[in-house]
Chains A and B, each alone.
Chain A
Amino acid sequence: MSQGLELDNLACTRGSRQLFCGLSLAVKPGDLLRVRGVNGAGKTSLLRMLCGLLLPTSGQVLWCGKPLGVQRDRLGQDLMYLGHAAALKDELSPLENLFDACALGGHIPTLPAALAGLEGAGLRSHARTPARRLSQGQRRRSALARLTLSQHAPLWILDEPFNALDIAANAWLTGLIEGHLKNAGMVVLTSHQDMPIAATNQLDLTL
């Protein structure tokens, strides 16, 4: 059985517009896949397809050799997806948001682990501030804090993770991604900035 994520002749049509077609590639443990493209090229649609949130117009996505549709539970455990929106509840603090997000992902962290995650994200002093009072960058950091508790999920799919982050947070996130790749994790991300990320095997995909 093959490890990793495979895209098999994938096509996407939104409305009457064809965004991409005939997309085939394989992401293996330790690989970083960067998806580039102009606005509206279909980057987010592709990422949502890889998560199984969007059905491909044709072709299929395989996880560990099997189509996504038949193993939603398995993928739920193996996948860590951060979308365009930060998936934060405005009324809840970063700490509560982190707990809820992890619990939905199937793993309830301990309080010290959650606090350590927020510490890494630079939000230790804001751990109990409602998310609506945080700045854009802090919200992004709060969402990304989940990555520190998601080492168990081999596949990370990140939609514009570097958006709104400052230099220090960029370095922190780059470190997290590099550490995950070293542990034979897989990362798929879209980014407009050309952040240098040390990866043994970097795949580039331009839509």
Chain B
Amino acid sequence: MRAASRPMTGLMVVLRRDLRVALRRRSDTFSTLIFFVMVVSLFPLGVGPEPQLLRTMAPGVLWVAAMLASMLSLPRLFADDHADGTLEQMLLSTHPLALLVFGKTMAHWVGSGLPLVLLSPLLALQFDLSASATGVLVLSLLLGTPVLSLVGSMGAALTVGLRGSSVLLSLLVLPLTIPVLIFGAGAIEAHNAGLGVAGHFSLLGALLIVGLLAAPWVSAAALRISME
């Protein structure tokens, strides 16, 4: 046996474990994806095939649907580990809890955020978005969806072990993610209006950096409180 002294070991162990679990239980990823596709597809059916109207609505609809879809699997981020006892083992681990939490958050994003990013160009077709606007959409989702997972991990950590936590979780997390929605959807609107998108991307990037720096530590502290 050798001692695992590198701080990243814990992160990699949790990331690999959660990805492996997600790969063997694909229903979570698929339900997130199907929900995203359904919600986005209902809008063109509901409001009619007016191209100009659809183009105007597209950024908001795609972004709101992505936010709601990434909320779907959030309650289970820590709840499964809590139920099967592995969360206690994480709390007792020799590795820093924040890094373990970060590993879980990354795995959550790969399972529920990244698929949305990859699927979004296909859905953009329904809204008659131009190729360049679709590119802006994909980039904005690529920067924004990790923030949703990071902010979500704080809410999930606070509500782990509570009954009926999923509604409470959405109430906690959705208001905090409003800036992501505004700048994410705003980037596409700005592009459609012929304005520069650098400002929006910079702000999304800033939100991501703040999330990366703060969320794992906040979530770790919240987990210690919740597990009392």
Interface residues of A, Cβ cutoff 8 Å to B:
48, 51-55, 73, 75-77, 79, 81, 83-92, 96, 100-101, 103-110, 113, 130, 149, 152
Contact = CB atoms under 8 A, between A and B. Distances in A.
Of the four ranges (under 10, 10 to 19, 20 to 34, 35 or more), the interface on chain B belongs to 20 to 34
B130 interface: no
B88 A83 contact: yes
Contact of B83 (A85, A91, A109): A85
Chief secondary structure at chain A's binding surface? loop
Chief secondary structure at chain B's binding surface? helix
Given A87-B86, A100-B13, 17 more contacts: A48-B88, A53-B92, A53-B227, A55-B228, A75-B92, A77-B94, A83-B88, A85-B83, A89-B84, A90-B84, A91-B25, A96-B20, A103-B4, A103-B13, A104-B13, A104-B95, A108-B2
A44 B88 CA distance: 13
B93 A91 contact: no
A73 B94 contact: yes
B119 to A, nearest CB: 24
B84 A92 contact: no
A53 B94 contact: no
Interface of B: 1-4, 9-10, 13-14, 17, 20-21, 24-25, 83-86, 88-95, 100, 227-228
A106 to B, nearest CB: 4
A152 B94 CA distance: 14
Nearest to A84: B85
15 contacts: A52-B92, A76-B92, A87-B84, A88-B85, A91-B21, A92-B21, A96-B20, A100-B13, A100-B17, A103-B9, A105-B93, A106-B94, A107-B3, A108-B4, A108-B9
Contacts, number: 92
A108 B9 CA distance: 10
A207 to B, nearest CB: 20
Contacts of B25: 91
Contact of B94 (A83, A92, A105): A105
A104 B20 contact: no
With a 10 A CB-CB cut-off, give which of B4, B91, B93, B94 has the most chain A CB atoms: B94
Nearest to B5: A106
Given A87-B88, A92-B17, A106 B95 contact: yes
A104 B2 contact: no
Nearest to A143: B85
Contacts of A89: 17, 21, 84, 86
Nearest to B85: A85
A73 to B, nearest CB: 6
